[in-house]
Amino acid sequence: MTAPGSTAGNSAASRDKAFVLHPYTNLDLHETQGPLIIDRGEGVRVFDDGGKDYIEGMASLWCVSLGWGEERLVQAAAKQMRQLSSYHIFGHKSHEPGIDLAEKLIGLAPVPMSKVFFANSGSEANDTAIKLIWYYSNALGRPEKKKILSRQRAYHGVTVATASLTGLPNNHRDFDLPIARIIHGDCPHHYRNAHQGESEEAFATRLAEQLEALILAEGPDTIAAMFAEPIMGAGGVVVPPATYFAKIQPVLKKYDILLVADEVICGFGRTGNFWGSQTMGMQPDILTCAKQLSSGYLPISAVMVSDAVYRACVDESKKIGTFGHGYTYSAHPVAAAVALETLKIYEERDIVGHVRDVAPAFQSRLKALAGHPLVGEARGTGLIGAVELVADKATKASFDPVGRAGAVVNGLTQENGLIVRAMGDSIALCPPLVITEAEIHETFDRLTKALDAAVPVLRG
């Protein structure tokens, strides 16, 4: 195992510190601490360069649904590499892997969709959706209907536009964000934002009323769309209150506001249904997905659009002479082939059925942690969840400074051979969908051990 902070010789750690600019990292701390070097993966585990194993409780970054070492995906990539290693779909050109994948996704969509646009990441997919929404409004002769609703603690990406949609302060600070025409509404977190004694249903009603008030204040004729994750991932795995989407969607329809379902984390079985939209009762006009589309083996994302959105794009491109948007690697044939094979595996192995089988054990162990002295709330659905660390369970007061408790627990879980993700003082879990019940118990045994070890550190 490469020692954190090692600068000896030509080690991977020393070269990393010398040459790599890391995302979502304290860059100053990294110069001293250095990286954990992951060398290989197998099933739900990864191994560092010293051979130590870790249960990857985050499926890398919410994405390696089939675990590491899935030979069918390796073979699918190799076969496509040999046949057509790269090509584009600009200017009336295409290839079968891209066509097949688009057809498959349309068939799997949670609501009727018309066409699929391919990109390379969730950020790009959501950025594309923003552009399509503005294009759509212009095509319909509504140049003022351009504002987009998001929510506090939402996560929709890190491009200039999608980072603006993201409702997390550190994604805005000193990047000069958010840009204009992005509005953040209320976060649907019952534990933190409900009134004393307010039920989930009453909280959802109040959120729908507040959404309508926001729309009226801004002007309904200025608001084009709302982005929403079925479950808010990087904002802390926030599960919406019961009846939330049932109550806000009529408000959106009343004012002709499109709904974009960001399925980048929730799609492909994570919540116990193929789409998080199905779990939460969403009826989106646009759906974005990525991550588990290829089990994270190659970068690929997709945007599915309704026929109404597509027809408007056709009309506008006819007027202009082209649809002036696209990426060099849109529908890259190798990534598309791997995504297709991933979808085949989901079906053949009934991965959604497996999630439903093991989710009760996952959620039972997760919810049991609500009794731990450091945990204020344990929340989740399917094979995704989080525990929120608090200094005082009665008052829900956070540790001071916010984020310290999360960092302590994150470090201790890694020492105990479990990789999680600390988002402030919420500790997230999102393991590969192929995890077994025995591996779930091992995961929570390691997490509990880390939480126990954190008590004297934080209570000190």
**Span 113-137, mean pLDDT?**
98
Together in a domain, 411 and 302:
no
What does R_g of the chain's alpha carbons equal in angstroms?
22
> What does the alpha-carbon distance between residue 460 and residue 77 come to, in Å, rounded to a whole number?
52
3-state secondary structure of 210: helix
Together in a domain, 435 and 342:
no
pLDDT by residue (tens digit) across 139-178?
999 999 999 999 999 999 999 999 999 999 999 999 999 9
Residue 184 lies in a domain: yes
pLDDT at res. 10: 83
pLDDT by residue (tens digit) across 274-283?
999 999 999 9
Together in a domain, 337 and 450:
no
Residue 421's domain is classified under what CATH number?
3.90.1150.10
Give percent above pLDDT 70 in the chain: 98
pLDDT at res. 250: 98
Together in a domain, 114 and 252:
yes
pLDDT by residue (tens digit) across 65-112?
999 999 999 999 999 999 999 999 999 999 999 999 999 999 999 999
Q: 8 pLDDT exceeds 60?
A: no
Examine the fold and report which residue of 331, 348, 365 is the final residue of a domain before the chain moves on.
Answer: 348
Residue 334 lies in a domain: yes
Together in a domain, 65 and 98:
no
Residue 107 lies in a domain: yes
Together in a domain, 393 and 326:
no
Q: 182 pLDDT exceeds 60?
A: yes
Examine the fold and report which residue of 307, 327, 348 is the final residue of a domain before the chain moves on.
Answer: 348
> What does the alpha-carbon distance between residue 385 and residue 77 come to, in Å, rounded to a whole number?
32
User: In terms of Cα–Cα distance, which of 259, 269, 290 is closest to 122?
Assistant: 290
**Strand-pair category, 223-228 with 258-262:** parallel
Work out the pLDDT band at 59, boundaries 50, 70, 90: very high
- What total of structural domains would you count in the chain? 2
Residue 97 lies in a domain: yes
User: Which H helix or E strand runs over 183?
Assistant: strand 182-185
> What does the alpha-carbon distance between residue 441 and residue 67 come to, in Å, rounded to a whole number?
17
pLDDT at res. 313: 96
Q: 460 pLDDT exceeds 80?
A: no
pLDDT by residue (tens digit) across 310-359?
999 999 999 999 999 999 999 999 999 999 999 999 999 999 999 999 99
Cα distances from 291 to residues 111, 131, 325, 359, in angstroms, run: 20, 21, 22, 20
Together in a domain, 316 and 365:
no
- The DSSP-derived string for 115-155 is EEEEESSHHHHHHHHHHHHHHHHHHTT-TT--EEEEETT--
**24: buried, middle or exposed (CB in 10 Å: 19+, 13-18, 0-12)?**
exposed
**Span 440-458, mean pLDDT?**
98
Residues 6+ apart with CB under 8 A from 427: 386, 387, 388, 389, 406, 409, 410, 413, 420, 421, 447
Together in a domain, 361 and 337:
no
Residue 3 lies in a domain: no
Q: Which domain holds residue 160?
A: 73-348
> What does the alpha-carbon distance between residue 143 and residue 131 come to, in Å, rounded to a whole number?
13
Together in a domain, 214 and 343:
yes
Give the mean pLDDT of the chain. 97
Residue 79's domain is classified under what CATH number?
3.40.640.10
Together in a domain, 387 and 374:
yes
Examine the fold and report which residue of 348, 381, 397 is the final residue of a domain before the chain moves on.
Answer: 348
